[in-house]
Structure 1
Amino acid sequence: MDPITLLGLVAGGCTTIAFVPQLLKIWRSKSAKDISLGMFLIFCLGVFLWLLYGLLTQDIPVIVANFITLILSGTILALKFRYKS
């Protein structure tokens, strides 16, 4: 693996796992009241578009990072709706 691809994978990994603490906090507290619905809707759309870009350009770090980020941020968005009160 070339160093640039490795750099991209590490960078993507860091920004992707940054969502794990927020997801765990929402899951444990059963509350997503402080999560901005608008921000996460726009963010999920942006991540989806980056994933499409990665697929079209066959950029593995972009594909992997955005696929996992979309799952994590999409789960946070789903929990925002589930715990709406």
Structure 2
Amino acid sequence: MNENILGIIAGVLTSVSMIPQLLKVLKEKNADDLSWVMILILISGLSLWVWYGFLKNELPIILSNAFAVMVNIILLICCMIYKNK
């Protein structure tokens, strides 16, 4: 398998992995089961991957991780809004 295709598939899967959780939080307006510390650590790691992608000039790494950062920032905002509400 072409390594670029493998990287794109991996990026898509990891990027969309938190969308079901985000949709559940938005639907139920409840984030009591989420750890905001875990989300902050995940956003930090994903942001470093974006930076690494820029350093290596690798668009698949940049795009997939930037999308994941956005999803997780939205999840963090929901966590702040809905936690213990």
Q: What is the TM-score with the length of structure 1 in the denominator?
A: 0.91
Aligned residue identity for 1:5: N
Deviation of 1:84 (Å): 2.4
- Map 1:62-73 → 2, pairs under 5 A: 62-73=61-72
- Map 1:36-55 → 2, pairs under 5 A: 36-55=35-54
Task: Write the deviation string for residues 33-82 of structure 1: whole angstroms up to 9, x where unpaired.
Answer: 10011111111111111111101111122111101100111111110011
- Map 1:4-23 → 2, pairs under 5 A: 4-23=3-22
Task: Write the deviation string for residues 17-48 of structure 1: whole angstroms up to 9, x where unpaired.
Answer: 11111010000000111001111111111111
Identity rate, percent: 35
Q: RMSD in angstroms over aligned alpha carbons? A: 1.3
1:74 matched residue in structure 2 = 73
C-alpha distance in structure 2 between counterparts of 1:64 and 1:7, whole Å: 15
Count of residue pairs the alignment pairs up = 84
Q: Runs of 5+ in structure 1 lacking a partner?
A: none
Runs of 4+ in structure 1 over 4 Å off: none
1:24 matched residue in structure 2 = 23
C-alpha distance in structure 2 between counterparts of 1:82 and 1:67, whole Å: 23
Aligned residue identity for 1:6: I
C-alpha distance in structure 1 between counterparts of 2:83 and 2:16, whole Å: 25
